[in-house]
Chain A
Amino acid sequence: MAKVLMKGNEAVGAAAIEAGCRYFFGYPITPQSELPEYMARELPKVGGVFLQAESEIAAINMVYGAAGAGARVMTSSSSPGISLKQEGISYIAGAELPCLIVNMMRGGPGLGSIQPSQTDYFQATRGGGNGDYRVVVLAPSNVQELVDLIIEGFDIADQYRNPVMILGDGMIGQMMEPVEFKKPKQRELPPKDDWITNGTKGKRKPHIINSLYLAPEELEAHNIKLQEKYRKIRENEVKVESYNIEDADVVIAAYGTTARIVKTAISQLEREGYKVGLIRPITLWPYPYDEFKKINPQCKGILTVEMNTGQMLDDVKIAVEGRFPVYFHGRTGGMVPTPNEIIEKVKRIHGGEM
C-alpha cells in the first residue's frame, strides 16, 4: 500500500480498524479528539460500533464488557480522562481482558493544559489503579511507529489477555507524517472460546469474568498467576532502539516525541565531534533495563530527557545500578525541550561541569 499523510490521532483509528478493532468507546478531550471523530465516521462503514459514552468511566467499563465478549476494542483519552479510567483499567487487568487504551498526554496535574507532556509515565508504568497489576505500555516516536504499535498492540493484548496502553502525547496526536499499513510479525494467538461471555446457547456452563476473589487463598493464587504472566511479558516483549551506546561518552535516555528532539541534538553534537549515544525505550513497561548494561564503561554520564520533572529518570537509575552518574533535563507544563538545551547539558556533562 502506498504511503499516505496522516495526523497521528487519525492514524491510530485507521490502524485499529486495520487490526480488526470494531468497537470504540470514548469521550472527547483535546488533544486526541480527532480519534473519536475518526472512529465515529469510519467504524460504522465496517460494521463496527462507535459510542460516545456519558463519561470516561462509562467508556472504560464498556471496554470491559466488549473485551469480555471477545471483541477487539479500544478507548482513548488524554491525561485527565485517563485518570478517570484507572478504576476500570485495574478491573480489566484483574479480570485479564485484552484491550487497547490510548493516552495522548497533556500537561498536568489536574486539568493542566492541552499542550503535549509526558507527565503520566508513573501512572502508566506503575499502575494508576489499585492492585498488583501491570499494563503493557508502548511509546511511539513517530506516526509510522504509532501505527505499527497499535496493530501489534492488539496482538499483544490478545496473546497475554492483558490491557495494552499506547502512551503518546499531544504532539504525536496532532502532527502529520507519512504512514503505510504493514502486517505485524505473526503471533500464535490463543483461542478466546474457552473464556469469553458470548452466550452459552444452552450448551455449556456460563463463563464468568470477574476480578473479585473473596477467599485470600484464591486471590493470592490469582495474583501469582498474574505475576507469572508479567514475567513472560518481561521476557518476550521488551522493545528498545539504541544508537552508538558502546562507544559514547554521554548517553541520552528519552522516549516518544522527546527522543526525536534528542536525535536532532545528537546529530548537531556529532557534527561538533562529540560521541553521544541514545537509548530509546519503545516499551516503557516492560522497561529495557538490560540495554543499559551495553553502555561504554568509560561513559561520563547518562542524561534523561523528558517532558516532565523526572519520571522515567527512576527507571534509568534502576537500570544503571549506580555505574554512571545520571542527570536530568526536562520541560513541563506543555513546554517542549529544544535541541539547544539538550546540547548545552551534554556539553556540560562531557566537560565534567555537572
Chain B
Amino acid sequence: MEERITIAGFGGQGVMAIGQLLTYAGMLENKNVSWLPSYGPEMRGGTANCSVVISSEAVGSPVVVNATSAIIMNKPSMDKFEPTIVEGGKLFVNSSLVDRKSNRDDIEVYYIPANEIANELGNMKVANMVMLGAYIEVTKMVSIESILEGFTKVFGEDKAHLIPLNKEALEKGAESVRNQIAATV
C-alpha cells in the first residue's frame, strides 16, 4: 500500500497543517510517512501545497508527482493538480471556492462545501479540517482519533482547547461526504 497525497490551496488555508496532521497520524499508526512542503516564494499570498506519502513500505520519493489522492482547497490548485491524479485516484474538492466540476471521468470525485460548513461551525479556519474529515471518511487511511492525538504535537499544547471544534469539523466533513455517497447510490 502506498498513498501519495497532494494537498493544495491558498497560503493561509491550512494545507500544510492538515498535511502534517495526516502525516503524524500515519506515524502513530506505525505506517511509513513523509511530508514535503512547497517552499518557493509563491507561498506568500499565492498557492501553497504539500506532498504526503503514507506507505506500508519505506517511503521512496517524498515528491508526489502522480497523486493517488488530492485535497484541493481553491480554484488555481484544481487547475494545477486535477490532471496529476492517477487513474482510479480520488479527488476531494472544496466546492465553496472551486466553481467548476472535475473534467476527469476516470477518478472518484467528492465535492465538499468546506467553507460553508466551517462557517456554520463558527470558525472559517477549520475549512481545512472539514476537507481532512471527508478524506479520512472515504480512504480510511488513518482514524480521526489518531488525527486528534497528533493535534497538540503539531500545534502545541496551548492549542488543546481547540480540539473539540476541530473534531466537530472532521466529523462534519465526514458527514458531508457520506451524504454525497448516499445520494449517488
Q: Once the chains bind, are A175 and B35 in contact (CB under 8 Å)?
A: yes
A234 at the interface (CB under 8 A from B): no
Q: State which of A194-202, A255-263, A288-296 sits at the interface with chain B.
A: A255-263
Q: Tell me, rounded to whole Å, the shortest Cβ–Cβ distance linking A282 to chain B.
A: 15
- 48-65 of chain B: CB within 8 A of chain A: 57-63, 65
A31 to B65, CA, bound (A): 21
Docked Cα-Cα span, A3 to B33, in Å, equals 12
Question: Are A31 and B39 closer than 8 Å at their CB atoms?
Answer: yes
> Is A5 within 8 A of B23, CB to CB?
yes
Chain B residues touching A, range: 20 to 34
- Complex interface residues of chain A between 144 and 200 (CB less than 8 A to chain B): 170-171, 174-178
Q: Which residue of B lies closest to A259 (CB)?
A: B60
B37 lies within 8 A of A174 (CB): yes
C-alpha gap A114/B60 in the complex (Å): 23
Q: Are B34 and A177 in contact (CB under 8 A)?
A: yes
Whether B62 contacts A257 by the Cβ 8 Å rule is yes
One of B20, B58, B63 near A261 (C-beta < 8 A)? B63
Cβ-neighbour of B62 out of A3, A175, A267, A340 (below 8 A): A175
- Whether the pair A114, B39 counts as a contact (CB closer than 8 A) is yes
Q: Tell me which residues across on chain A come within 8 A of B24, comparing CB atoms.
A: 5
Does chain A have a CB within 8 A of B27? yes
Within 8 Å of chain B (Cβ to Cβ): is A336?
yes
Consensus secondary structure, chain A interface = mixed
Are A5 and B27 interface neighbours, CB within 8 A? yes
Chain A positions within 8 Å of B40 at CB level: 114-115
The distance in angstroms between the C-alpha atoms of A115 and B37, with both chains bound, is 11
Please, how many angstroms separate the alpha-carbon atoms of A238 and B57 in the complex? 27
A260 partner, pick from B20, B33, B60, B154, beta carbons under 8 A: B60
* Chain B residue at smallest Cβ distance from A174: B39
**CB-CB < 8 A to B36: which residues of A?**
171, 174-176
A339 interface residue per 8 A CB criterion: yes
Taking CB atoms, residues of chain B closer than 8 Å to A31 are: 39
- Interface assignment of A244: CB less than 8 Å from any CB of chain B: no
Give the residues in chain B near A260, CB-CB below 8 Å.
Answer: 59-62
Residue of A nearest to B39 (CB): A174
In the assembled complex, which residues on chain A have CB atoms less than 8 Å from the CB atom of B33?
A: 5, 177-178
Asked if A30 lies at the interface with its beta carbon under 8 angstroms from chain B, I say yes
For the complex, give the distance between the alpha carbons of A267 and B57 in Å.
11
User: Measured between alpha carbons, how far is A31 from B40 in the docked complex, in Å?
Assistant: 10
Residue B156, interface by CB 8 Å: no
Q: In whole angstroms, how far apart are the Cα atoms of A260 and B51 in the complex?
A: 15
A176 and B34 form a contact (CB under 8 A): yes
Is A210's CB within 8 Å of the partner chain B? no
CB-defined contacts of A261 to chain B, threshold 8 Å: 60-61, 63
Distance between B155 CB and nearest chain A CB, rounded to angstroms: 13
In the assembled complex, how far is the CB of residue A139 from the closest CB belonging to chain B, in whole angstroms? Answer: 16
Known: A5-B20, A338-B65, A339-B65. A177 touches B39 (CB 8 A): no
Q: Residue on B with the closest CB to A340?
A: B65
Q: For the complex, is A298 an interface residue (Cβ under 8 Å from B)?
A: no
The contact string, 1 if C-beta is below 8 Å from chain A, for chain B 13-32, is 00000001001100100000
| Complexed CA–CA distance, A264 and B59 (Å) | 8
Beta-carbon nearest neighbor of B35 in chain A: A176
Most chain A C-beta atoms within 10 Å of own C-beta, residue among B36, B60, B61, B63: B61
Q: Which B-chain residue is minimally distant from A113 (CB atoms)? A: B40
Assess whether B41 is interfacial by the CB under 8 Å rule: yes
Instruction: Pick the most buried of A4, A30, A175, A338: most chain B CB atoms within 10 A of its CB.
Output: A175
Which 8 pairs of residues, A with B, have the shortest CB-CB distance?
A: A264-B60, A176-B35, A261-B61, A175-B36, A263-B60, A264-B61, A178-B27, A5-B24
Apart from A5-B150, A263-B60: 12 A-B pairs, beta carbons within 8 A: A5-B153, A114-B39, A115-B40, A171-B36, A171-B62, A175-B34, A176-B35, A260-B61, A261-B60, A261-B61, A267-B57, A339-B61
- Interface pairs (24), CB distance under 8 Å: A4-B153, A5-B23, A5-B33, A5-B35, A5-B150, A5-B154, A30-B39, A31-B39, A171-B62, A171-B63, A174-B39, A175-B37, A176-B36, A177-B35, A177-B59, A178-B27, A260-B59, A261-B61, A263-B58, A263-B61, A264-B61, A267-B57, A339-B60, A339-B65
